Amino acid sequence: EAQVTQNPRYLITVTGKKLTVTCSQNMNHEYMSWYRQDPGLGLRQIYYSMNVEVTDKGDVPEGYKVSRKEKRNFPLILESPSPNQTSLYFCASSLSARGNYGYTFGSGTRLTVV
Amino acid sequence: GNSVTQMEGPVTLSEEAFLTINCTYTATGYPSLFWYVQYPGEGLQLLLKATKADDKGSNKGFEATYRKETTSFHLEKGSVQVSDSAVYFCALAGGTYKYIFGTGTRLKVLA
């Protein structure tokens, strides 16, 4: 089944403790992206990647890192999480960076930083 | 810059009612337009899309027409069901390879 898989689904952590949220897609998609979803703010893009070893900042990149060493994986790293990073996170992929293909989304990771 | 504005929710309808969720956009060039649906506890799913002016996207009884003259992409369904209860997002993809999402409209359908 074609899908984007994120792990974990739920995570509670403490301020400052490094964490990684994994994202993997099995569709050979070039373009991958991370979003956070907050009430009243909709979805905001954190980082995106147009292909292996090519990443760039989205609208809210502060406090996050990403890497794209393989085409299928696009992990999101929080080096020193803070409470304002408590949010619902989605990974998404698309066949190409051209806008007309649409995204496939993962099921989301609900992160709570205390 | 590019932007998407969609109507505030929640929208509450009775089963079999007609649905319209308004979406307007601002963009340079010729963006592609999308509607996504998010069911409780799930990620967003692509519902329909249109890639050029006057295109009509359709899926599962939902329709939306890309209107360049009014910069709109309103979502419609002739007869909603309880199972359509979800949050609906309008989105735009432009030449900068970035998607812009609206803030979402929650739909609640009552039996």
pLDDT digit string (tens) for B44-63?
Answer: 999 999 999 999 999 999 99
**Using one digit for the tens of pLDDT, what is the confidence trace for A18-75?**
999 999 999 999 999 999 999 888 899 999 999 999 999 999 999 999 999 999 999 9
Q: What is the DSSP string of B15-35?
A: TT--EEE-EEEE-SS--EEEE
Residue ranges of A 76-105 with Cβ closer than 8 A to chain B: 90, 92, 97-100, 102-105
CA distance A17 to chain B (A): 26
Say yes or no for a CB contact (<8 Å) between A103 and B36: yes
Amino acid at B7: M
Strands B11-14 and A31-38: unpaired
Among B residues 66-85, those touching chain A with beta carbons less than 8 Å apart: none
- Written as one letter, the residue type at A21 is V
Residues of chain B with C-beta less than 8 angstroms from the C-beta of A105: 36, 43-45
Contacts with A22 (C-beta within 8 Å, 6 or more apart), sequence order: A5, A6, A7, A73, A75
Helix (H, G, I), strand (E, B) or coil at B82: helix
Name the residue of chain A whose CA is nearest to B43's CA: A107
Alpha carbon of residue A17 to chain centroid: 18
| pLDDT tens digits along B53-90 | 999 999 999 999 999 999 999 999 999 999 999 999 99
Q: Which residues of chain A does B101 touch, with a Cβ-Cβ cutoff of 8 Å?
A: 35, 42-43
Cα–Cα distance measured from residue B91 to residue A111, given in angstroms and rounded to the nearest whole number: 24
The tokens 């998607």 sit on which residue? B99
Q: Is the Cβ–Cβ distance between B64 and B56 less than 8 Å?
A: yes
Q: Could you tell me where the beta strands, DSSP code E, fall in chain B?
A: 3-6, 11-14, 19-21, 23-26, 32-38, 44-50, 56-59, 62-65, 75-77, 86-93, 99-101, 105-110
Task: Find the closest chain A residue to B87 by CA distance.
Answer: A42
